[in-house]
Structure 1
């Protein structure tokens, strides 16, 4: 997606596509296996069975992108104007999020209370209307993402003042909060998965990765092919370990989840750094397709569960060949293509008109030293 505050980098859109696709595969597998189709098992299919890891990529990527913007503004002698930054963020996520929230409250109208409107600001907590059905269940991340937006300009400013060690201090604090929370929460897995205490460190790691990218840009470009292979291996190992030790949904309480988000985000940060630095381009058609997938990834992410549930409940298993694996791949291709088409429609109808209202949020002169060390 093109930003008004930094030069467009298609590699970031391609990573958004990857994140949305992983979450789609995760939910497709749940619906397909739940309908009686083939169920994947084993550590090396964990990128699908634990495909919720795409959410971790989204949070890490957000921290990386926004810190890149802050560094770019700093280099130009400008600071982020908080009001304009939040205005752009509201225009980016609220229109479609509000549509999904209204769908959720319509579905649950018989149980809805006026006070539930407060869940607009806390879709990841309690009995939020968006959590009432799988159709709108993906919206739980939006409140967390917006919370990160609220504090980011301050975090960026303090990082510019004090250097990357400031972010390291936050990560130490988050590790303490995670450990303390584990001692008193009987459903710690869900807590770490969907709350500030479990996810804030991923945004911080993304910010730290942007600082490292600025400092080691030349070295990263030189080592990018090797780093890309290593980062892919790390991501695969991360998800395989999660599948073996503490698969999501298998247990409400596992000490693994205390440090899980750090491990997950470290793998994604390494992939972000190596992919952004990787010089060779993909074939033109593929490059454009994946970048387009990143552009519509927000609609894709928020709407895919509704479409998958329609397929599961109204179409069911389709077996045109009689070969389970082939039939599963056919259904996957059809569902993915239909979701992409729906996301494209949603992007142009709901998202794009508001995105055109954004404006640059950098202005003035910075009053902080360029430490970033």
Structure 2
């Protein structure tokens, strides 16, 4: 997706595609197992069985991209920044929220409208059914948007150590919350205390990229291998020690988000620094996947649930792995097509209304150069 505030980098969109695809595979696996299909097991499949890690990539990538923009622009108009963010996420989010309130009309209360601002908390209408369940991340993402211009300004004034201070505070908050919350796993998974550090780590990665860009480019192939290994290792470790949904309380989740985000930050740095290009058709396909990733992320659970409840397991070949591959290809292709339609109908018209949020000297700013 092209930004008005920084030169377009297709590698960012390709990482968005990866994040959305991991979450898709995670939910496909859950639906398939729910139908009685054989589930995957073992550490080599952890990126699928714990594919919710794609959410961590999304949050880390957001921090990275916006800090890159702040470093590039040097000046940010808060009003215009939030205007762009609203145009980016609210139209489709509102569609999903209205779908959720329509489904749950018999239980709807007027105060449920406040869940527009807190879809990750309590009994949000979007969490009442799996087909709108992915919307829990949107409130968190917008919260990060609201504070980002302040964070960026303070980081540019004080350096990366400012972000380090925040991470220390968050580690303390995580430990404190663990002592009193009986369902701490869900708390770390879906709230500010469990996810804000991932946004901050993404910002820190952008600071490192700005300073060490040439060095990162030189060692990008080695870093890419190491980053992939780290992501696979820490996801496999979680799958073995404290898989999501297995226990409501585990000390592992106190530090999990930082470990998860560190792996994704390394992968982001490696991939944006990696010079060789993929074959043209693959580059374009993955970049297109990133462009429609927001629609893909919010719609995929609904399509998977329809396929599961109305079609179920199919066996056209009689060979289990081939049958699963066919089902996966069909569901993924259908989600891609639906998301492309949704992007052009719901998202794109509003995205065309965005404008640059870099400030002129006569305008109030929240991020400015200190050089």
Residue by residue over 1:164-192, the C-alpha shift from the partner in whole angstroms, topping out at 9 and shown as x without a partner, is: 00000000000000000000000000000
Aligned positions, number? 366
Are 2:153 and 2:368, in contact at CA under 8 Å, matched by a contact in 1?
no
**Could you tell me the TM-score, scaled by structure 2's length?**
0.98
Instruction: State the Cα distance separating 1:45 from its structure 2 match.
Output: 0.3
Match of 2:364 in 1: none
Match of 1:282 in 2: 278
**Could you tell me the TM-score, scaled by structure 1's length?**
0.97
Match of 2:13 in 1: 13
User: Separation in 2 of the partners of 1:169 and 1:201?
Assistant: 11
Residue by residue over 1:57-103, the C-alpha shift from the partner in whole angstroms, topping out at 9 and shown as x without a partner, is: 000000000000000012xxxx1000000000000000000000000
| Deviant stretches of 4+, over 6 Å | none
Instruction: State the Cα distance separating 1:369 from its structure 2 match.
Output: 1.5
User: Separation in 1 of the partners of 2:369 and 2:18?
Assistant: 36
Match among 141, 144, 147 for residue 145 of structure 1: 141
Residue 51 (structure 2) pairs with residue 51 (structure 1): yes
Give the unaligned 5+ runs of structure 2: 362-366
Instruction: State the Cα distance separating 1:38 from its structure 2 match.
Output: 2.0
Are 1:37 and 1:328, in contact at CA under 8 Å, matched by a contact in 2?
no
Q: How large is the RMSD of aligned CA atoms in angstroms?
A: 0.7
User: Separation in 1 of the partners of 2:96 and 2:89?
Assistant: 11
Q: How does 1:118-267 map to 2 (within 5 A)?
A: 118-267=114-263
Match among 267, 272, 287 for residue 271 of structure 1: 267
User: Separation in 2 of the partners of 1:367 and 1:235?
Assistant: 34
User: Separation in 2 of the partners of 1:145 and 1:92?
Assistant: 11
Match among 318, 324, 342 for residue 322 of structure 1: 318
Q: How does 1:328-347 map to 2 (within 5 A)?
A: 328-347=324-343
Match of 2:73 in 1: 73
Give the unaligned 5+ runs of structure 1: none
Are 2:76 and 2:368, in contact at CA under 8 Å, matched by a contact in 1?
no
Residue by residue over 1:106-133, the C-alpha shift from the partner in whole angstroms, topping out at 9 and shown as x without a partner, is: 0000000011000000000000000000
User: Separation in 1 of the partners of 2:280 and 2:323?
Assistant: 30
User: Separation in 2 of the partners of 1:38 and 1:19?
Assistant: 24
User: Separation in 2 of the partners of 1:224 and 1:38?
Assistant: 38
